[in-house]
Amino acid sequence: MAVYFAAKALLPQGWANNVTVSVSAQGMITAVESDTLAADNSIHINGFLVPGMPNLHSHAFQRAMAGLTEVVGDPADSFWTWRDLMYRLVDKITPQQLETIATYLYIEMLKAGYTSVAEFHYLHHDRGGKGYANPAELALRISQAAKSASIGLTLLPVLYSYAGFGAQPASAGQGRFINDTDSYLALYDALSSELAGEPMQRTGLCFHSLRAVTLEQMQRVQEAFPQPQPVHIHIAEQQKEVADCLAWSGLRPVEWLYRHMPVDAQWCLIHATHLTADETRQIAASGAVAGLCLTTEANLGDGIFPGAEYLSQQGNWGIGSDSHISVSVSEDLRWFEYGQRLNHRRRNLLHLPAQPYIGNVLYQGALQGGRMALGQPVGQIAAGARADMLVLDGRDPFLATADDNERLNRWIFACAANPIKDVMTGGRWVIEDGQHQLDEKTTRDFITVMQQLRA
Ligand code: NGQ
Ligand code: ZN
């Protein structure tokens, strides 16, 4: 049991003063009180205490190619030509390389403010597309990487069977992803038991996209695991996907999904970029989380989620770093607002009736949606939540001179240097003064892997 005292802490209702946070030996917050005096045994937090952010969408291996595809290949470069390059990387990665990349990335995430991550994991088989002796080999590498880094994990093994709407046969580049429903259910079962002993890890259900599965498959998976748990799916990211879905079914992807599946607050709809006004309303009303990956969506030229409209309908949302072209809570949040500004040619669009400060809306909104999407007690400094917390540098000039309403705006919109000094997950300090214990070794290993993959 440890007791922390922070002169300023961000609680669910906003900034509070002189906050005492009690943390159990199991790393859970047992009590939070504001306007307290520091007790003799309390540990003083030197800076501003905020909840760590859940990262609701990650494909860890893609970190290895970040920044390598910003060069014209085809004059019609697009999401789809980027995907061809991504498949070339997929073709090479070994289990050990995957673990190294993920460990390095997860440490980067901690330093950037993410204290838990939902890994949308579809790399299942060996390089020839054959199963490993242990079908969970690669998924367990992800689990091990999260454990080494000490980041919370919601592991989402992905059901991926087809290349396009109407059960089109998978392409050669997709061989490592493919399961049928039975092999998927077996994998899910095996992983859920493996992770049962990990206090900071759990599994969730996941369909790659409506392109990759059939309705019958989705129904069978949901029937096999009826207990409430996260369900993630990529949807309506690209206009071509919307057009193909219309051609196949006469419905747009989000329309199709809501027509056929019981989408509720357990669901996380990744991207959901291309929406009609009705679809936007439907997602908001269902309580599902829109999983926004702002920097990846910008990088891939996807389009802009109707954020202002969605927030005016109290829709749930959170952020993911997805392809990891950027790993930064503040940058992803900033781009949510900036995309809206560029789209509407106005300013200050992501506000709520009782909250005019954009940074407050962004940070608190992403915490809440992230908690839902990960299905873990995270994203809050509150009794019952896991002690996943960040300390922002009190000496940063922008933060030091901000009042309570301005502090998150200063961080998200103004700080050039990363002000995150210390990071706690599950009650343990894992980043201290910007450093992780594994920094040296993991950096060395990551450089080696990137050299190997480029050779
Ligand atoms: C993915 N990534 O699964 O990694 C996808 C690209 C696809 C994003 N959508 C592949 N950002 O959608 O087919
Ligand atoms: Zn994705």
Same domain for 64 and 183: yes
In the three-class reduction of DSSP (H, G, I as helix; E, B as strand; rest coil), residue 54 is classed as strand
- 122 inside domain: yes
Helices (H), 157-212: 181-195
pLDDT band of 274, cuts 50, 70, 90: very high
- 447 inside domain: no
In the three-class reduction of DSSP (H, G, I as helix; E, B as strand; rest coil), residue 154 is classed as strand
Question: Out of 271, 274, 324, 436, which one is annotated catalytic?
Answer: 271
pLDDT band of 131, cuts 50, 70, 90: very high
**Averaged pLDDT, 169-180:** 97
Residue with the nearest Cα to atom 7 of ligand 1?
83
- 337 inside domain: yes
Query: Residue 3 C-alpha to ligand 1 middle, in angstroms?
Result: 43
pLDDT band of 455, cuts 50, 70, 90: confident
Nearest ligand to the C-alpha atom of residue 83:
1
Q: CB of 293 within 8 A of CB of 270? A: yes
**Averaged pLDDT, 197-203:** 97
**Averaged pLDDT, 406-433:** 98
pLDDT band of 343, cuts 50, 70, 90: very high
pLDDT band of 130, cuts 50, 70, 90: very high
Query: Residue 262 C-alpha to ligand 1 middle, in angstroms?
Result: 24
Q: CB of 5 within 8 A of CB of 20? A: yes
The predicted-structure confidence for 236-248, as pLDDT tens digits, reads as follows: 999 999 999 999 9
> Which among 214, 204, 103, 112 has a CA at the least distance from the CA of 158?
204
Active site (annotated) includes residue 322? yes
Residue with the nearest Cα to atom 13 of ligand 1?
83
- 453 inside domain: no
Per-residue model confidence (pLDDT) at position 394:
97
- 101 inside domain: yes
Atom of ligand 1 nearest to the CA of 296: 11
pLDDT band of 219, cuts 50, 70, 90: very high
Q: Which domain holds residue 298?
A: 59-374
Same domain for 395 and 365: no
Same domain for 235 and 142: yes
**Averaged pLDDT, 400-425:** 98
Same domain for 111 and 35: no
Matching residue, tokens 């800076």: 47
Same domain for 396 and 364: no
- How big is the chain, counted in residues? 455
Q: Which of 354, 374, 394 is the last residue of a domain?
A: 374
Query: Residue 177 C-alpha to ligand 1 middle, in angstroms?
Result: 12
- 451 inside domain: no
Number of domains in the chain: 2
Residue of 89, 165, 237, 321 best suited for mutating to test ligand 1, as the one with most atoms within 8 Å of CB: 237
Q: CB of 90 within 8 A of CB of 64? A: no
The whole-model pTM stands at: 0.98
Q: Residue type for 400, please?
A: A
Give the residues surrounding ligand 1 with Cβ less than 6 Å away: 59, 83, 209, 234, 237, 296, 300, 322-323
**Averaged pLDDT, 256-266:** 98
CATH no. for residue 388? 2.30.40.10
- 455 inside domain: no
Nearest ligand to the C-alpha atom of residue 122:
1
How many CB atoms within 10 Å of residue 455? 6
Same domain for 392 and 272: no
The predicted-structure confidence for 13-27, as pLDDT tens digits, reads as follows: 999 999 999 999 999
Q: Residue type for 50, please?
A: V
Same domain for 395 and 370: no
- 36 inside domain: yes
Same domain for 394 and 301: no
Same domain for 242 and 186: yes
Q: Which of 374, 396, 420 is the last residue of a domain?
A: 374
Active site (annotated) includes residue 57? no
CA dist 295 to 292, 322, 359, Å? 9, 9, 17
pLDDT band of 147, cuts 50, 70, 90: very high
How many CB atoms within 10 Å of residue 343? 15
Residue of 57, 83, 274 best suited for mutating to test ligand 1, as the one with most atoms within 8 Å of CB: 83
Q: CB of 135 within 8 A of CB of 124? A: yes
Same domain for 245 and 167: yes
Query: HSE on the CB side for 453, CA within 13 Å?
Result: 29
CATH no. for residue 288? 3.20.20.140
Structure tokens at 278: 């009705």
Q: What is the DSSP letter of 410?
A: I
Per-residue model confidence (pLDDT) at position 87:
97
Same domain for 283 and 249: yes
Per-residue model confidence (pLDDT) at position 321:
98
Average pLDDT, the chain: 98
Residue of 59, 93, 176, 273 best suited for mutating to test ligand 1, as the one with most atoms within 8 Å of CB: 59
Question: Out of 244, 302, 322, 332, which one is annotated catalytic?
Answer: 322
Q: At 211, phi and psi to the nearest 5?
A: -70, -30
Q: Which of 374, 391, 415 is the last residue of a domain?
A: 374
Query: Residue 86 C-alpha to ligand 1 middle, in angstroms?
Result: 9
Atom of ligand 1 nearest to the CA of 293: 11
Same domain for 407 and 302: no
